Structure 1
Amino acid sequence: MATNSYHNVWDALTDSPEEALNLRLRSQLMMECSELVKKWNIPQKDAAKRLHITQPRLNDLLNGKITKFSLDALVNLLSNADMRVEVKVKQRKAAKEPAHA
């Protein structure tokens, strides 16, 4: 029986590297936003109001329901929380090219 090895959990759960990357980014933004809300130490209804969302939507965020949030939505939530999201784009490591004869 062969065992597969994955770089991260999202690679194991998705069919494409693009989808895995999207989920990884959404997960990072969700965790940042959730931690921020918890640091506020205020009732959920007040936190939801601060983020300009409903309390059930905030509950989805705090419970990690990643499929309910797009990257756009998460960036907007963080902006509503007076946070700035920065994006860094880097070249992938190049695969080794085969030696020429």
Structure 2
Amino acid sequence: MAKRKSRRSSSNVSRDLSFGPEEAENLRVRADLMIALGKLIEDRGLTQVKAAKLFGVSQPRVSDLVRGKIERFSVDTLIAMLWAAGVQVTVTTKQRTRVA
């Protein structure tokens, strides 16, 4: 049986999957926004139909959201959905540790 090589995780799944640093950060931000929307749906006990009305999107879009189809959502779209639900999104930035 062939021996598998392993490597240490960077604690950033997107980066570990060989996405570039910019794409990995974009995926992280979208994932965080999607998690916030999913938590809102759960906390308010919303059905997909009710969530769709609240967010101003179709029920199939909410289905994509709860199924984690991250590739179907932009940061702008996710922020608009949160805003429609009465949630203000705040962005924080910090200097990267390694700058080229």
* Residue type at the aligned position of 1:59: S
Write out per-residue CA displacement over residues 12-61 of structure 1, whole angstroms, 9 at most, x where no aligned residue.
22431111000011000000111101111132211110110000000000
Q: How well do the aligned residues superpose, as a CA RMSD in angstroms? A: 1.5
Paired residues of 2:9 and 2:16 also in contact (CA < 8 A): yes
Q: What TM-score, normalized to structure 2?
A: 0.86
Paired residues of 2:29 and 2:75 also in contact (CA < 8 A): yes
Paired residues of 2:41 and 2:47 also in contact (CA < 8 A): no
SS in 2 for 1:93: coil
Write the distance in 2 (CA, Å) between the matches of 1:68 and 1:77: 14
How much identity, in percent, do the aligned residues show? 39
1:3 lines up with 2:2 in the alignment: no
Following superposition, which runs of at least 4 residues in structure 1 exceed 2 angstroms of deviation?
Answer: 1-6
* Structure index of larger Rg: 1
- Corresponding position of 2:46: 42
- Corresponding position of 1:90: 94
- Structure 2 unaligned segments of length 5 or more: list them: none
The number of aligned residues is: 95
- Structure 1 unaligned segments of length 5 or more: list them: 96-101
SS in 2 for 1:5: coil
- Corresponding position of 1:51: 55
- Corresponding position of 2:19: 15
1:66 lines up with 2:70 in the alignment: yes
Write the distance in 1 (CA, Å) between the matches of 2:46 and 2:89: 23
Write out per-residue CA displacement over residues 63-88 of structure 1, whole angstroms, 9 at most, x where no aligned residue.
11100001111111110110011111
Q: Give the one of 30, 36, 39 matched to 2:34.
A: 30
